[in-house]
Amino acid sequence: MTFIVKVSPIKNIFEQVKWKCKVYSSMFSTVLIVHILFSLLMFSNGAGNIKRGGTFIEYDERFYSLDILFIISIMTLFILGWSVANKSLSNANFSIISTNYTEAISSLLLIIILSIFTVASALSSLYIFFFIKLLMTNETMVIVNAWPNLPSLIIFVLGIILAGSVSYLAKSLFDFSKIVFVMVIVAVILLVSMQITSVFPFLFGVGWFSIILRCLLFIGVTWGLTIFVRQRKEVIRG
Amino acid sequence: MNSFVIFLPITIMLVIILVIGALLTKMKIWRPKRTLSFSGIYFGLGIVALIGVVILSRDSGNIESDKVLREHIVENERINEQVSLRNVDAMNPAYLKYTKTFEPTSQDIEVKRHEDAFFTRIVLTWNNSTENKIVASYYETPLFMNRVNISDVVRPSHIELKGNELFVYDVKTQIKVNSVRPKLEIIDDFQNTAVHDDLSNLIGERILHLNVPRHFNIIDSSGWME
């Protein structure tokens, strides 16, 4: 093959990612608005509560943690990863000659950028709404740790990258419609949630380190599969 | 039923996310530049809030450090040991909350606890006086729940003599607290390490010491008295 202008793959991917961040900018605002919405729902009751009772004391703690935002982010990334794959051809930058290979990698890099953005947005939402609660109400506040916990953040990022890449792979493999896709996600979540106490340790092991390593492994596997599948895919016009 | 309960919220959440995504792609307000500036402002606010929370957490100095809590645990263990040996004199007088003197009319005294009052340990010592006097002294070491000193909030155990029955009961206090935990509790739950942090459990001892002359009979139906 001969090209008039030769572009190195790295530059190609970089340009594609830059282009895609602009084209898919509504995804970033979707993440923001979903987080603001669910933080508002979390505002009065918190993410959960801990009850401890002594004989003479009833201790009721409402904690504001990243859990709800984590679950919401996973769902959001499922949908966004799917829509990245769905509109990939129409939203590619054709001013640069791209191959299936660079296209898949740039989409996956977009998912990484989106995930990091999601973590920043989740942390901001948590702190903003807790701070407002702190200033506005007279209830007792206990702050044991103000700084975010690093392993949690790493697992947060890796978890949502995994969710995004899995749904990207699923869309590359099968041509789902929107409704079928939602139904598939619900079915998978239902099946997993029934057996979650056995499935989760089986998939991710026990301990922070094991979870992080296995997440990385799964991300690697899904990326490899995605690039392989995308290279074999025929061009769809229309 | 159970699966339906999970099914509905998940579907609603997914539909909400889809609708928001679809609306935002249609709306022309959310151009890249505006999205960038909006998220920049939001993250800026987040950093300001983080700094605010950190400053406020320094201000509220009611959370004890691990070292102090461990010292208290060791001290409580020592007190427990001494109490088992009925060595009440070893107790720190600073922990004494109140002393009550009863003058019962009959020789048989029955100790009755309210069903919740088992946290308070009751220790008996005998003396040789001939007076009709029972001296009850109540000790309480500093109480911590989830690293917060709650000694001032809770009320001490209450003792009362009615006829020949000595009642011991606790007043239940409700404590409601909000806290920020910037991490994933859900992961801890799967690892079964969530609640087993011994420093965030209830730390403290309550001891009721009864000094009784030998001619009294103390009847305890619970079997928990020492």
In this complex, do A124 and B20 lie within 8 Å of one another by their Cβ atoms? Answer: no
Are B148 and B175 within 8 A, CB to CB?
A: no
Mean residue pLDDT across chain A: 82
Tell me the average pLDDT across B166-182. Answer: 81
In this complex, do B20 and A33 lie within 8 Å of one another by their Cβ atoms? Answer: yes
Candidate from A64-68, A90-94, B194-198 with smallest mean pLDDT: B194-198
In this complex, do A55 and B117 lie within 8 Å of one another by their Cβ atoms? Answer: yes
Which of B7, B119, B150 is the closest to A186 by Cβ? B7
In this complex, do A64 and B179 lie within 8 Å of one another by their Cβ atoms? Answer: yes
Residue A207 vs residue B42, higher pLDDT: B42
In this complex, do B116 and A56 lie within 8 Å of one another by their Cβ atoms? Answer: yes
User: In this predicted structure, what is the pLDDT of residue B115?
Assistant: 66
What's the CA gap between B117 and B106, in Å, rounded?
A: 25
- pLDDT > 90? residue B45: yes
Tell me the average pLDDT across B27-42. Answer: 82
Tell me the average pLDDT across A205-217. Answer: 87
Percent of chain A with pLDDT over 90: 18
What's the CA gap between A39 and A70, in Å, rounded?
A: 11
A196 C-beta neighbours (distance < 10 Å), count: 14
Residues A21-49 as b/e (b if ≥16 CB within 10 A, e otherwise) read bebbbbbbbbbbbbbeebbeebeeebbbe
- Model confidence band, residue A158 (pLDDT cutoffs 50, 70, 90): very high
Are A193 and B9 within 8 A, CB to CB?
A: no
Environment class of residue A184 by beta-carbon count within 10 Å: exposed (0-12), middle (13-18) or buried (19+)? middle
- Model confidence band, residue A21 (pLDDT cutoffs 50, 70, 90): confident
- Model confidence band, residue A13 (pLDDT cutoffs 50, 70, 90): confident
Query: Which secondary structure element, helix H or strand E, spans residue B160, and what is its range?
Result: strand B158-162
SS3 labels along B103-155: CCCCCEEEEEECCCHHHEEEEEEEECCCCCCEEEEEEECCCEECCEECCCCCC
Which of B11, B120, B179 is the closest to A144 by Cβ? B179
Q: Is B43 on the interface with A (CB under 8 A)?
A: yes
The owner of tokens 């978890």 is: A159
Q: B176: which chain A residues are within 8 Å (Cβ-Cβ)? A: 60-62, 139-140
Q: How many residue pairs from chains A and B have C-beta atoms closer than 8 A?
A: 251
Query: How do strand A57-65 and strand B165-169 relate by DSSP bridges?
Result: unpaired
For B127, half-sphere exposure in the C-beta direction (CA atoms, 13 angstrom radius) is 13
- pLDDT > 70? residue B224: no
Query: Which secondary structure element, helix H or strand E, spans residue B2, and what is its range?
Result: helix B2-26
For residue B48, give the chain A residue with the closest CA.
A128
In this complex, do A32 and B42 lie within 8 Å of one another by their Cβ atoms? Answer: yes
Which of B3, B39, B179 is the closest to A63 by Cβ? B179
Q: B133-160, pLDDT tens digit by residue?
A: 888 888 888 888 777 777 777 888 888 8
User: In this predicted structure, what is the pLDDT of residue A219?
Assistant: 93
Spatial strand order of the sheet with A48-53 comes to A48-53, A57-65, B173-181, A140-142
User: In this predicted structure, what is the pLDDT of residue A222?
Assistant: 92
Residues 74-113 of B with CB under 8 A from A: none
Instruction: Please choose, from the candidates B73, B62, B63, B61, the residue with its C-alpha nearest in 3D space to the C-alpha of residue B198.
Output: B73
User: In this predicted structure, what is the pLDDT of residue B1?
Assistant: 46
SS3 labels along B168-216: EECCCEEEEEEEEECCCHHHHHHHCCCCCCHHHCCECCEEEEEEEECCC
The owner of tokens 């020592």 is: B78
Environment class of residue B32 by beta-carbon count within 10 Å: exposed (0-12), middle (13-18) or buried (19+)? middle
B35 vs A21, A80, A160, A174, B16, CA distance in Å?
11, 16, 21, 32, 20
- pLDDT > 50? residue B39: yes
Q: Is B29 on the interface with A (CB under 8 A)?
A: no
The dihedral region occupied by A80, where left means phi > 0, alpha psi between -120 and 50, and beta the remainder, is alpha
For residue B115, give the chain A residue with the closest CA.
A55
In this complex, do A57 and B150 lie within 8 Å of one another by their Cβ atoms? Answer: yes
Beta bridge partners of B165: B110, B162
Which of B14, B174, B180 is the closest to A58 by Cβ? B174
Extended strands (E) in chain A: 48-53, 57-65, 140-142
Beta bridge partners of B173: A57
- pLDDT > 80? residue A138: no
For residue B119, give the chain A residue with the closest CA.
A55
What's the CA gap between B151 and B173, in Å, rounded?
A: 11
ipTM above 0.85, yes or no: no
Query: Which secondary structure element, helix H or strand E, spans residue A223, and what is its range?
Result: helix A208-232
Amino acid at B142: P
- pLDDT > 60? residue A135: yes
Amino acid at B132: N
Query: Structure tokens of B68?
Result: 């102090």
Name the phi and psi angles at B159, rounded to 5.
-120, 140
Percent of chain B with pLDDT over 70: 85
User: In this predicted structure, what is the pLDDT of residue A121?
Assistant: 93
Q: Which residues neighbour B188 within 8 Å (Cβ) at sequence distance 6 or greater?
A: B194
Q: Is B63 on the interface with A (CB under 8 A)?
A: yes
Q: B55-107, pLDDT tens digit by residue?
A: 877 665 567 777 888 888 888 888 888 888 877 777 777 888 888 888 877 77
Q: What is the distance between the terminal CA atoms of chain B, rounded to a whole angstrom? A: 51
What's the CA gap between B54 and B126, in Å, rounded?
A: 54
Q: A86: which chain B residues are within 8 Å (Cβ-Cβ)? A: none
DSSP code of A91?
Answer: T
Percent of chain B with pLDDT over 90: 4
